[in-house]
Amino acid sequence: MVSNISTDALRISKIVICCFLFLWTLCLSCSDQDKVSPPYKAYVMYLDKSKSTLGTPYYSLGSKELTDLKDISKLDGTYFSIREGGTLEVDTSGGAFISAEKFEKGSTPNIRYKLKDGVIIPKDYSSLIMLSVFYQFQEIFGHLEEYTGVIPRDIVSTADNARMSIWYEPVVTDKHENESSSSSEIAKLNAAYLQGNKQFVLFQRSSLERVPISANLSVLAHEFGHALFEYSFYGNKYNHDRDEVFEIDPIFGMNEGLADYVSFIYTGVSNILGSSFLFAEDYMQRDFAQTTFTYDSMKIKAIKGSKDDTELLKNYCNGGYYCLGTLFARSLWEASKTSGYDGEKRYEYLKKVLSSLTKARDVLTPMVSEFTDRIETENSGTQKIVNTPKVLSLFLYALLVNLDESLKENLCSSLVKNFGSVMNKADHSGVCPHVTFSVNRVNLYDVYEDF
């Protein structure tokens, strides 16, 4: 009996020792990932507003609190979540606007890091950028109600699981890769918002980037501006069957302009792409505070001199509807200052603009027949044609008619200055009674194929 007990005790002892050795071995191999818990601090790339100016953003690397992060292994915030990889099939693309035919789900982000004094230090580029993306969106949502008047839970209410999805570096395929579509080329140097899906896409990195697009707060706030346009103009969710009539370049331009202005509201920077890319022509046209072109002057095709000439570039734009966006953002920026909404008061100005934008679609919808038509073509069947100046004219009327009365005169003046002949007595005298309209140099019934 005693012998049996000793044998059993020996077996139990061996098991205990083996378990101890196994667990001790595991602990030796434990990484810092197993030691960290919220509240988190992480080394990220961020916009240093104290060193930034209107035309020159300044980015730094440093420790920031990720107050909205509950689990480092998931990168889920209260109102957004980050996914890594996946496959996006693009149907149509216009740079920041894409239509996703199919999005294969990515994976939970793989954040590799070490700890130093309790701070998460990323071990690789992707980990640094994804943590930086989290911090930037934390900032965007954290100030959303203060800056725009929009309650975060309201804007995400129509998203899957009431969270906006952020897709980091998916593989992009083009449904029309054998056709003339250029969406694949655009995707390599851009970020995008998927209208109707409440999703953001951060495309694969490029060697041309200085500050990575994915970590550029100006770019991310701009993309969020598209979500605010959808929230305000489309009633928080774009519906193709209902809203397809507004899938036209002039409205895209107004969307881009609002997004540029939203980016400025968040950052105080007008040069959205300047920190990420070096080539002047591509980013200067988007800097609404530095450019001087107007709607009428940018129609000039023949430009003498070198495109490297900074002064020349200020009065030049060949970026299609992005040029219209620059004009709209500049108009809002100039009018906000003239109306006394400079500095932090600019937040209140944006709130009033968004309030008017929520009513603009209902004003504009009955006027659709005035600026669109459909024609039969020999090879393509029915094709929609758009009167660009008239769309712009009526959109601006729809925005102005419900704008706070105290803001109308200054915004009218700024719009006349920048949009020139688009602003006309016939459409705008009722909402801009104190403004002198320019002489029409552009026929309102021309159709501009280059927009």
Amino acid 432: pLDDT: 96
Residues 272 and 353 in one domain: yes
Q: Which domain holds residue 177?
A: 36-208
Alpha-carbon distance of 187 to 58, in angstroms, equals 25
DSSP assignment of 19-52, as one string? Answer: HHHHHHHHHHH--GGGT--SSEEEEEEEE-TTT-
Q: Let me know whether 150 and 256 are in one domain.
A: no
- If asked whether residues 202 and 244 sit together in one domain, one would say no
Same domain, 326 and 445: yes
> Do 53 and 200 sit in the same domain of this protein?
yes
Boundary residue ending a domain (161, 188, 208): 208
214 assigned to some structural domain: no
pLDDT, position 27? 43
Specify the pLDDT at position 281.
Answer: 59
CA dihedral angle for residue 56, residue 62, residue 65, residue 70, rounded to 10 degrees: 110
pLDDT of 129 reads 97
Model pLDDT, residue 181 = 41
- SS3 call for 107: strand
R_g of the chain, CA atoms, integer Å:
26
Give the Cα separation of 411 and 430 in Å (integer): 14
Specify whether 286 is located in the same domain as 335. Answer: yes
Structural domain includes residue 373? yes
Contact 46, 135 (CB under 8 A): yes
In the chain, which stretches have pLDDT less than 50?
1-30, 94, 180-188, 301-307, 442-451
List, for residues 269-318, the tens digit of each pLDDT value: 998 987 887 655 556 788 999 999 999 887 554 344 444 555 655 677 87
Domain count, the chain: 2
DSSP one-letter code for 252: H
Q: Please tell me the predicted confidence (pLDDT) of residue 14.
A: 39
Give residue 167's pLDDT.
94
Hey, is 216 helix, strand or coil? coil
Judge if 138 and 188 occupy the same domain: yes
The confidence score (pLDDT) of residue 176 equals 61
Q: Are 135 and 66 in contact (CB under 8 A)?
A: yes
Instruction: Kindly state whether residues 279 and 400 are assigned to the same domain.
Output: yes
Q: In this structure, is residue 303 part of a structural domain?
A: yes
Which residue reads 């008239």 in tokens?
390
Predicted local confidence at residue 286, as pLDDT: 86
> Tell me, what's the pLDDT at 32?
62
Question: Do 270 and 176 share a structural domain?
Answer: no
Given this model, what pLDDT does residue 285 score? 81
Same domain flag for 157 and 47? yes
Q: What is the pTM of this model?
A: 0.86
My answer on whether 158 and 252 are in the same domain is no
Residue 289 counted as domain residue: yes
28 part of a folded domain: no
Question: Is residue 5 a part of any domain in this protein?
Answer: no
Helices (H), 172-276: 183-187, 217-233, 240-243, 249-267
* C-alpha span between 356 and 251 (Å, rounded): 16
Quick one: angle between helices 321-338 and 249-267, nearest 10? 50
384 within some domain: yes
Does some domain include residue 255? yes
182 and 255 belong to one structural domain: no
Is the peptide bond prior to 170 cis by the omega test (within 30 degrees of 0)?
no
